[in-house]
Amino acid sequence: MEDQEILRKFHDPASRNVAFNQLVRKYQSKVYWHVRKMVVDHEDADDLVQDTFVKVWNHLENFRQDASLYTWIYRIATNECLSFLQSKRRKFFLPLNDVGAELAQKLEADEELAGDEVELKLQKAILRLPDKQRLVFNLRYYDEMPYEQMADVTGTSVGALKASYHHAAKKVEQYVNEHFS
Amino acid sequence: MNTPFRLDEHRRRPHPPLTPPPDRYFEQLPTRLMQRVQPASAPAWGWLSALSAPLRTALASVVVLGGFAASFFLSPAPAATSSLAQVPQEELVQYLLATDQRLTLADLAELPAAVAVSNTAYLEATPAEVQRELDALPIDEAYL
């Protein structure tokens, strides 16, 4: 179902639930993996995905369509992730890079990565990036999102995003090369 | 590692190879979300939400005042006179005789007279002098 059709149905109280159900089914996988890449842990990702879609439900009526629905949902999910990571640091009095260390421990425990040393190093390298740079890296490298769309999601200029991705990619390559035995 | 690692040459995946979510996670997520966003049904008190705020306040006041009134009228009031009437005469007499402060007939017959305050002590004059002064005063007929 097209976004316009979903929005039209959502504005009709009689078909609101159906429209929301369709919206969730359409975007849940993308939102889930976008969040999961940021927080690594499934339980945390599940909470954040639900919070994201609850916010979508609460504010979709006021959605002005000056951005695409997909971009708007991504922006909500991104803000949820960044707030979550920030509150985690505040809660445990952690310095900026220690959440990355905690997430790296979760990576090592992940069965899917066991035995794939290059992939594990790559993921650890990504987790060492600052949150916002990691977000830019994920959107570009994994989601292959165009820079213009990334600018809508992050509220950052295209030029700044290109520079951020370039620096992030260099840092990742450098880390993997230095730590690969 | 023989050749330096380069991102462009690394096999790109749609997402990191993390453990996938539990089975049927994406099938159940829409249902769980619908349960979260639907308002909790309260059929017994649902009609209250339809009332305006002032009306709800007035209704609450009526209920509270009604409760007070009901408790006042329904509770058995302990009447002092009726409960005293239920005490047998003999017990009353025994109680009065047993108390330390007893009334005598003299107490009942005579009321203590008010102590007359005499101001004669303040008059430095003999009765004859007083009488003479009184006789000298003009007497208004209206007083007679």
Inter-chain residue contact B33 with A54, CB threshold 8 Å? yes
A142: chain B residues, CB-CB within 8 Å:
12-16
Tens digit of pLDDT for each residue in A77-105? 999 999 999 888 777 665 555 666 666 77
Q: What is the mean pLDDT of each run of 10 residues along chain B (144 residues)?
A: 80 81 95 88 63 82 87 69 76 76 64 56 76 79 56
- Torsion angle in degrees (nearest 10) through CA of B80, B83, B84, B85: 130
Inter-chain residue contact B34 with A21, CB threshold 8 Å? yes
The predicted complex's ipTM stands at 0.82
Q: What is the CA radius of gyration of chain B?
A: 50
Tens digit of pLDDT for each residue in A100-142? 666 677 767 777 766 677 888 888 899 889 999 999 999 999 9
| Residue A60 confidence (pLDDT) above 70 | yes
Q: Flag whether the pTM goes above 0.90.
A: no
Distance CA B90, CA B62 (A): 50
AA identity, residue A11: H
Q: Where are the domains of chain A?
A: 1-93, 95-181
Nearest CA in chain B to A21: B30
Name the token pair of A110.
């992940």
Which single residue is written with the structure tokens 């994920």? A138
| Residue A21 confidence (pLDDT) above 60 | yes
Q: CB distance from A43 to chain B under 8 Å? A: no
| B81-87 contacts at long range (C-beta below 8 A, 24 or more positions apart) | none
Fold category of A95-181 in CATH: Arc Repressor Mutant, subunit A (1.10.10)
Higher pLDDT: B84 or A43? It is: A43
Q: A1-93 domain in CATH 1.10.1740.10?
A: yes
